[in-house]
Amino acid sequence: MRFGYRSAMPTALVTGTSTGIGLATAVGLAAAGHRVIATMRDPGRADALLAAAGAAGVEVEVAALDVTDPAAAADLVARLGSIDVLVNNAGQGSLGTLEQLDDAALQAQLDVNYLAVARLTRLVLPGMRAAGSGRIVTVTSVGGAVGQPFADAYCAAKFAVEGLMQSLAPVAARFGVTVSIVEPAAVGSAFVANVAGRDRAAADDPYAPLLAAYLDRTATAFAAAQTPEGAAAVIVEAATTSAPRFRWQTSAAAVAFAGLSLADLDGSRVLNQTSGWLGTR
């Protein structure tokens, strides 16, 4: 690691990069000219990332980070010193309807998908605010716009983080900091394999038939899933474009599904209104 040196390239911190969208995003940002700090809980799992970076002819720096560890997050940001782009990608799914979820399961989803994102964003904001520039991109989900059966805890946490970011965006913008969210639909990655509670319903569970039907539908959706590279390309665009916006979807399927709940697909209608609540520039 070469933490602490000043790079002529903008520095991007990307969480959850051992597989899938995070891996592809780290490589994509490096290819776009960023110094990339790619975090994962276990750096021993960095082989796939390093191989992908090598194949693309770029370099990334791997750092250990459990995003739910406040001290570790604070230490990493302090060691980096200057962060131009934060991509909050690390997350975890959850399977179960509310009656099947205890408080620990609910808290675990908030810890990973909401509180960790809020904490890391709060840590980078002082430096970005002082610099008068910065990009904060949070990977949420179409599940942050549309509640889905048996995704109660996951969607609740994603709704929460979208509300946090939409509230933060007009205030951060006054200091030159752009806040965006990116909503993928089904993406072919290890995310589904890591969903908590996949074996939750016993045969005699009253919810078992409903869960089985939901899982059948989900399997169909993921059979036509977007590639991680396709989703990552949108994240890289959100982080680098000269025409940023608040809300991004990563595919036509994501646009259609999020549109079930959202008329303001790019977020401009809400932000144009709430920005006016802060007075004139």
Which tops the pLDDT comparison, 99 or 3? 99
What are the backbone angles phi and psi of residue 4, rounded to the nearest 5°?
105, -20
Q: Of 1-15, 35-49, 223-237, 266-280, which gets the smallest average pLDDT?
A: 1-15
Residue 129: which pLDDT band, with cuts at 50, 70 and 90? very high
List 5, 154, 207, 214, catalytic entry = 154
For the stretch 64-111, pLDDT in tens is 999 999 999 999 999 999 999 999 999 999 999 999 999 999 999 999
* 98 found inside a domain: yes
More confident residue, 89 or 272: 89
DSSP string, 63-105: EE--TT-HHHHHHHHHHH---SEEEE-----B-B-GGG--HHH
| Residue 144 pLDDT > 90 | yes
Per-residue confidence (pLDDT) for residue 4, from 0 to 100:
46
Q: What is the identity of the amino acid at 139?
A: V
Instruction: Please give the order of strands across the beta sheet that includes 177-183.
Output: 61-64, 35-40, 11-14, 85-88, 134-139, 177-183, 247-249
224 falls within a domain: yes
User: Could you report the per-residue pLDDT of 150-209, keeping only the tens digit for each?
Assistant: 999 999 999 999 999 999 999 999 999 999 999 999 997 554 555 555 555 566 789 999
| 72, 49 Cβ separation under 8 angstroms | no
Residue 202 vs residue 113, higher pLDDT: 113
Instruction: Specify if 280 maps to a domain.
Output: no
214 counts as catalytic: no
pTM of the full predicted structure? 0.91
Residue 17 lies in a domain: yes
Residue 5, in any domain of the structure? no
Domain of 257 in residue numbering reads as 11-272
Confidence of residue 1 (pLDDT cuts 50, 70, 90): very low
DSSP-assigned letter for residue 143: G
Residue 3 belongs to some domain of the structure: no
Region 205-216: what's the mean pLDDT?
90
The CATH number covering residue 181 comes to 3.40.50.720
Q: What is the mean pLDDT of the chain?
A: 92
Are 36 and 26 a contacting pair, CB within 8 Å? yes
Give the pLDDT of residue 7.
58
Distance between CA 238 and CA 247 in Å, rounded? 9
Q: Is residue 2 part of a domain?
A: no
Identify the DSSP state of 248: E
Amino acid 269: pLDDT = 87
* Euclidean distance between CA atoms 253 and 271, whole angstroms: 24
SS3 content of the chain, % helix, strand, coil (to 5): 50, 15, 35
Whether residue 2 has pLDDT greater than 50? no
Domain count, the chain: 1
Q: List, for residues 35-56, the tens digit of each pLDDT value.
A: 999 999 999 999 999 999 999 9
Any domain includes 164: yes
- Bridge partners of residue 177, in order along the sequence: 134
Res 138 pLDDT > 60: yes
User: Buried b / exposed e across 49-68, counting CB within 10 Å, b at 16+?
Assistant: beebbeeeebebbbbebbbb
